[in-house]
Structure 1
């Protein structure tokens, strides 16, 4: 069975605002999504005082028929959102400290990235058009898989005495004594 796939370019909007502590000069936050956006590279969208919003990049939002369970979890959330992942720029002298690398609609994949805590990871609310597009994809490609409880194998694991101690020691009383030492040398 071949996997079905759909893709849509999504623009990532990032806001840069003055930091609220002396340790962080700037606060960065992914604030919006632009479905069907064209290519961009940190293009200024809006400037208000020191706060600037950028169209940071346009990334493909790929949907796969094998991941529909994750998309269903996303759509069932109180406020469905896409997870956007930005990594620290590799070059410290780069004009922008972040590089957008991924946008995903799978709640499970998004949670994996959030658990890692590596980079700037935000769950951004989806516009209604994206919710409908993902919902249509799930309706067309989702296949319910019944839960199958695992069964234990019936192999006996209590018959072998692996790891019981050093086989070079002949005494049954203390199998954990180092080889070559006798009880007269202070180990008994």
Structure 2
């Protein structure tokens, strides 16, 4: 589903940042755009920055379920500092909180959380109902091998030990001749 990304520009509060940019909304089913001005309110300007596809994958239904179970279900917009004449490059829109967290962990991207519209919630829920399969948890069984019979890994086998490796080191006494 195509999602338009709305980004707001407001004046910065320090002399080092002339403007502050923030993603504020998504537009489901939007057509293509290239930083089209939507509205202006004093110094604040909102742009339809771009339209990207929201792709859902059947292997990620657990993440979508987790996202829908949140107090406010959200779509995540991943952005980077612009490399061309644009202030920001919108990289991705996703419904997966896990994928958004992966991008947020790198520190190179800016991840904004937008509330989902009711239509998006219904669309994602229908996708989950169609494709979600619960994975059965299989507990791993331990080997029956007894590992407590032999002390392995004490010291380095290449170094000859003449005494207990757990004893405290003692000062070496030198003899005078």
Q: What TM-score range do you get, normalising by the shorter chain? A: 0.7 to 0.9
Greater share of residues in strand: 1
Report if the CA contact (8 A) 2:54-2:93 is conserved.
Answer: yes
Out of 54, 65, 73, which is 1:61 matched to?
54
Q: Secondary structure at the match of 1:24?
A: coil
Structure 1 segments, 4+ long, off by >6 Å, are: none
Q: Secondary structure at the match of 1:38?
A: coil
When normalised by structure 1's length, the TM-score is: 0.77
User: Quick check: 1:116 aligned with 2:109?
Assistant: no
Question: Residues of 2 paired with 1:170 and 1:73: CA distance?
Answer: 55
Q: How many residues align?
A: 168
Displacement, 1:147?
A: 2.7
Report if the CA contact (8 A) 2:155-2:165 is conserved.
Answer: no
User: Quick check: 1:140 aligned with 2:130?
Assistant: yes
Consecutive unaligned residues of structure 2, counting only runs of 5 or more, are 167-171
Question: Residues of 1 paired with 2:94 and 2:72: CA distance?
Answer: 15
Displacement, 1:100?
A: 0.6
Give a deviation string over 1:101-155, Cα, whole Å, max 9, x none. 1111112222222333332111101111111111111111111223333333345
Consecutive unaligned residues of structure 1, counting only runs of 5 or more, are 1-7, 176-182
The 3 A distance-change label for structure 1 pair 117 and 152 is: farther
* RMSD of aligned Cα (Å): 2.4
The 3 A distance-change label for structure 1 pair 147 and 174 is: closer
